Amino acid sequence: MLKSEVFNHIKPKIKSILKKALNSEEDLTLEEGFELLKVTGKEFIALQNVADTICFEKKRDLVTFVINRNINFTNICFQECKFCCFSVPDKNKGFLLTLDEIKEKVIEAKRNNCTEVCIQGGIHPDLTFEFYLDILKTVKDVDRRIHTHAFSPQEILYMSQLFGDTIENTLKELQKAGLDSIPGTAAEILVDKIREIICPNKVSVSQWKDIITSAHNLGIPTTSTIMYGHIEDLKDRIVHLEILREIQKETHGFTEFVPLPFVRENSILSKQNEFPLKYSYGVADLKLYSVARLFLNNYINNIQTSWVKLGPKLAQISLNYGVNDFSGTLMEENISKSAGAGFGEYLPPDEMIRIIKSAGKHPAQRDTVYNIIRNY
């Protein structure tokens, strides 16, 4: 229950936005979301309190996680996104896994009780559509019950070009081959003027929306993400949230929202001086989690933290800022590691359970679409 003194000594404008959010009946406007992204001090604490209250009303103290593994099957990519440290444009310097190697990784995932494999790769110039289909079939040949969470909207666009057919028909083929859900990556910031600078060769905002809504309309759920803390400003972040909220009103296909802070250490974006970088530190990270909980209220119920990007300690703290999911155990995390994230590539389930319990929450293992598998 919210203590009334939390609202003492804060600006009337912020107080009225927070009260509106607590009431949960009306959507926050873009302007209101923007105001909340700027709060500091006591207003920040009041925002935290409201986010935590709304999260508690929906989830009680349940914090979920999924046992999964990443399979990044190639790092060869010609897209040249300026924030990316994972990709290698030269075919002779990168790797491309064979189907047998992918199968070995799926078998290893099964041995480690993974319910999901998350499969993404670079945009390799020599791939065929059949290879993508064979990846899915390979997983399902090992065990049909393993959930394939696979291929970013960027990869889906590339596949539709290889296949020479529409996005919808491409998705239908993938579905037949065993695709269960899609990561809502390649979203970065859904503002074209920012995308033109950080990832000029990537899907546009309208292409991203089209691919995601086509998937949802075919009954393929997706996650939703934001990559923030680079050259965008706070308004861009809230515009991004608004786009996700509008899609979800129409399709109900997002399973969760995952804020991903830009990992700056090794990227071209960090080395250039042309566009000043606006890094996100801990308070801004926690503020975005909280604002997402309020802004997406009634639409996206699961807000996921990223222990890979934030580190397990700050990720644990985020559980008091509107977050109800601790993400995946992630055997073999390559993308953030190559960008310079200093945190592990695997967090064993026991460790995750300990972290969640020591935050005073109740851990539960879930599947990809948030069915509870086991309470701890």
Binding site for ligand SF4 (CB under 6 A): 77, 79-81, 84, 86-87, 122-123, 154, 199
Nearer to ligand SF4 by C-beta: 154 or 160? 154
In the complex with ligand SF4, which residue's Cβ is closer, 187 or 364? 187
For residue 289, the minimal CB distance to ligand SF4 (Å) is 23
Angle CA(300)–CA(303)–CA(308) in degrees, nearest 5? Answer: 145
For the CB of residue 327, give the shortest distance to ligand SF4 in the complex, in Å. 19
Which of 87/336 has CB closer to ligand SF4?
87
The sheet that has 372-375: what strands, in order across it?
325-328, 62-66, 362-366, 372-375
Using the minimum distance from each CB to ligand SF4, give the nearer residue, 185 or 301: 185
Minimal distance, residue 250 CB to ligand SF4, in Å: 27
Which CB sits closer to ligand SF4, 7 or 86?
86
What burial letters (b/e) apply to 340-358, b meaning 16+ CB within 10 Å?
ebebeeebebeebbebbee
For ligand SF4, the closer CB: 81 or 258: 81
- The residue type found at 348 is P
In the complex, minimum distance from the CB of residue 73 to ligand SF4, in angstroms, rounded to a whole number: 11
DSSP 115: S
Q: How far is the CB of 154 from ligand SF4 (least distance, A)?
A: 5
Residue 307 vs residues 52, 135, 316, 317, 337: alpha-carbon distances, Å: 19, 28, 8, 11, 12
Minimum Å gap between C-beta 257 and ligand SF4 is 19
Contact criterion met (CB below 8 Å) for 187 and 232: no
120 or 302: whose CB is closer to ligand SF4? 120
Question: Residues 110, 142: contact at Cβ < 8 Å?
Answer: yes
Nearer Cβ to ligand SF4, position 76 or 286? 76
Question: E strands within the chain?
Answer: 62-66, 68-72, 116-120, 147-150, 222-228, 254-261, 325-328, 362-366, 372-375
Question: Nearest approach, Cβ of 199 to ligand SF4 (angstroms)?
Answer: 6
Output the CA torsion 248→252→258→260 (10° steps).
-40
Alpha carbon distance 289, 283 (integer Å): 10
The DSSP bridge partners found for residue 288 are none
We find the least distance from the C-beta atom of residue 77 to ligand SF4, in angstroms, to be 3
Q: Which amino acid is at 106?
A: V
